Structure formats: structure tokens, C-alpha cells
Amino acid sequence: MNSEFSRMEAVQSPIIPVVGELIKNSPGTISLGQGVVHYSPPPEAIEILPKFLNNSTNNLYKAVTGIPELLTVLTAKLANFNGIDINGDNCIVVTAGSNMGFMNAILAITSPGDEIILNIPYYFNHEMAITMAGCHPVLVGTNENYQLIPELIAKAITPKTRAIVTISPNNPTGVVYSETTLKQVNEICRERGIYHISDEAYEYFTYEGIKHTSPGAFIGSSEYTISLYSLSKAYGFASWRIGYMVIPQHLLNAVKKVQDTILICPPVISQYAVLGALQAKEDYLRDNIKTIFQTRQIVIDALHQLQGLCTITPANGAFYFFLKVHTQINDFELVKRLIQEHQVAVIPGKTFGMENGCYLRVAYGALQQDTAKAGIERLVKGLQIILS
């Protein structure tokens, strides 16, 4: 065996399977860990599948960037919901989820040794992708409410910087960035000749009257803004592995090279399912997100009992809360004890880049309300006992 250092040794291990193994060894555990929704795809996504099956050519490879019918539907969605016009400066590429869109983007815009700015806490798969590509994540702190600090971001830029990444609504914190702040970051990218990678997987999940902002809609931003979208969350499509990206036209050839090598073409059956899903009645998204909002309120009410033991940052998006726990206990050890002693699972903050202090990500989208209520009650009781 070759003992030389492998590029993969520098990449952190995915935390979800690690926590999943702990859950498996503690039957009855309620997981507040994985970031998925509890509901299924709309019936329209299933009803369209015979159309896919009845086309005798659908077993063949299709276009690298996505089937034309879907690109047309996505163009309309982007214009209506995001305010993004697909024009000569930009284009859509359908991907196997927005994680793949991120990897496409990193490989398309970087050379080994380049830098990508991540705001902490970051989404762990972003940091992993950057490291896999032989590039360096440059970590920039956020304020006490996990909001961006544009001045710090600007100071972190070097000649090797190729992009700034923003995630709004945010994973893991659930915060939503304001249009003003996102414009500041987007303007920094324009001035410094770098890309703005905007991860918008949770675009529909905003509460308390907060509106989602897509940087790709800012005037003149098409040539340097890369926008990432997913069907996994809002439409319950997690295992269908389908998403899309909006990229500057000048990156299309590079992205096609990456996608053709890794994927050849996005799964055509999943693309058909998206065609169906995007025809779902308005009440599908409205009612399901309303249910998650109600679950969010149950979680907030329970977390209030942890005041003094934890700092609970307000969050008006996605389906997460990110707790700062006032303890010297290592976050992974705390997660293990919560699973083994109190049968509730959350994700340790270190996997999101929080090296100093003890942080936990609480996810509440994957559970029915009764189960979520039981899970959050176990978490509150467990932390009260462990920290007492």
C-alpha cells in the first residue's frame, strides 16, 4: 500500500452517518439531527412518471444540462419566485442535488491552492468539497446572531480568493440574511473580480414575514453570481437527488466538463418528477411549510427553558436552531451522552467549523409535531440534567 498522504485524509468524515450509528445502537432515540422534511413529494410528482416510462428513448443518456422541458419550467420559476431572468449572460444547469452544484462550481472556478471564503458556522459539505478540490477554505466569523460581517469578509480576500459562499436561509443556524447584507457581499465580489456562490436550498422556508433574497436577481450580477437550488427540501425529494444551478454563461463549458465526467446527465426520471412537482397546487408548499412553522413554535417554546444554560439565537428560516451550550464538555461527547442517556440526537457544532466552545444544531423539519415535541422535551431535560 502506498503510504503517501491521500487528499481524502484531509477531508472530515460526514457526521450524519456517525451520529446515525450511535442512534442505531440506542433504539428508541428520536433524531433532531438530519436536515430533511417529514412530508412526501406532491402527488403530481408521482402521477407524471408513467409519461417517463412510456417514452422508449428515456433509457438513453439525455442532455448534460437537463431536458429542455425542465429548463423551460425552471426558467419560469426563477423569474416568478427569485426575480432571476435567464438571459445571454447566464444559464441553468440541472444537477443531482445542490451539493453537486456546489462541487461543479468549485471545480469550474478554481485551481489547486486557490481559496474560497466560508462564513462560520459553515455547511460541512461545502468545506469538504473545497478541501477535496485541493483548495483552501478561508473561515470568516459572523456576529453574535450568526449574521454576515461584510467588512471581515472583504479583509479575508487575497489574490488566491476565487469566491465567497453565502447560505440563506442558513444551514446550520436557520438565520436569514437581509437583502442589504447580501447586496454588500455581492458588490464586494463584483469589485474584487471573484464569484458569489449563493446556496438557496431553503429558499421557501422563511417565517415571521421574512422574505427570501436571491443575489442572482441583483442588477448586473449575472456574470459573477452562481446560485444553487434543491428539490430535496421543499418538495420532499431528498433521495431523488435533483437540483439545479444558475451560472454565468462563460462557466458553462467548464461545468459541462465536470458534470459529464461525474454524472453524464442528471437522472431523467427525477427530472420528470420535478416537472410534476412544479405543477403542484399552491397549497402543497403553503400547508407543509405552515406545519413546519407550527413545529418551530413548539421547539422555541421548549428551548426557552434552557435560558442560562444555552444561548438560543433567533432564526427565521430553514428548520434549524444552533445552540451555544455554556459548558466545558466537548460537543461530540455531549451528543453521545444525549443519545445514550436521553435518547435524543442532535449534531455537534465542530462539524460546522465551530472549534471554540460547545455548539449543537437542532433540526425540526423531519418529524411529525408529536414526535418533534417529544424529541425537544428529551433534549431540554437531557441538557438540564447533564449541565446541572
CATH of the domain at 19: 3.90.1150.10
Q: Which of 260, 277, 294 is at the close of a domain?
A: 277
Residue 363: count of CB within 10 angstroms of its CB: 25
Domain co-membership, 224 together with 132:
yes
Same domain, 75 and 133: yes
Query: What's the pLDDT at 302?
Result: 96
| pLDDT (0 to 100) of residue 14 | 85
For residues 291 and 356, state if they share a domain: yes
- Cα torsion for 12, 17, 23, 27, to the nearest 10°? -160
Chunked mean pLDDT (size 10), the chain, 388 residues: 71 88 94 93 97 95 97 98 96 97 98 98 97 97 97 98 98 98 98 98 97 97 98 95 98 98 96 97 96 96 96 96 96 96 96 96 95 97 96
Find out whether 210 and 316 touch, Cβ atoms under 8 Å: yes
Cβ partners under 8 Å of residue 162, min gap 6: 109, 110, 114, 115, 116, 135, 194, 195
User: Does 264 fall in a domain?
Assistant: yes
Q: What whole-number distance in Å separates Cα of residue 287 and Cα of residue 278?
A: 15
| Whether residue 36 is found in the same domain as residue 55 | no
Whether 30 and 78 share a structural domain: no
Same domain, 253 and 320: no
Instruction: Write down the pLDDT at residue 15.
Output: 86
Helix (H) or strand (E) holding 17: helix 15-24
Whether 35 and 48 map to the same domain: the answer is no
- CA dist., res. 290 & res. 292, Å (int): 5
Kindly state whether residue 316 falls inside one of the protein's structural domains.
yes
**Per-residue cell: 374:** 417529544
Omega of the bond prior to 68 within 30 degrees of 0, cis?
A: no
The reply to whether 248 and 140 lie within a common domain is: yes
Specify whether 63 is located in the same domain as 157: yes
**What's the CATH number where 163 sits?**
3.40.640.10
Which of 277, 296, 330 is where one domain is finished? 277
Decide if 268 contacts 52 (C-beta within 8 A): yes
Do residues 132 and 53 share a domain?
yes
Indicate whether 104 belongs to any domain.
yes
The CA distance from 117 to 189, in Å, is 11
Q: Which of 93, 88, 63, 101 is nearest to 249 (CA)?
A: 88
Of 254, 277, 300, at which residue does a domain stop?
A: 277
- Measured CA to CA, the distance from residue 223 to residue 114 in angstroms comes to 20
The answer to the question of residue 211 being in a domain is yes
For residues 378 and 309, membership in a common domain is answered with yes
In contact, 44 and 277? CB cutoff 8 Å: yes
Query: Residue 241 in contact with residue 97, Cβ under 8 Å?
Result: yes
Helix (H, G, I), strand (E, B) or coil at 139: strand
Nearest-angstrom CA–CA distance, 262 and 256: 10
Pair (267, 146) in one structural domain? yes
What is the pLDDT, as a whole number, of residue 1?
54
Cell numbers placing 7: 487528499
2 part of a folded domain: no
Instruction: Say if 266 falls within a structural domain.
Output: yes
Q: How far apart are CA 361 and CA 171, in angstroms?
A: 9
What's the DSSP call for residue 78?
I
Q: Has residue 213 been placed in a domain? A: yes
Q: Rounded to whole angstroms, how far apart are CA atoms 336 and 380? A: 15
Within-domain flag for 1: no
* Total number of domains constituting the chain: 2
| Structural domain boundaries, residue 106 | 43-277
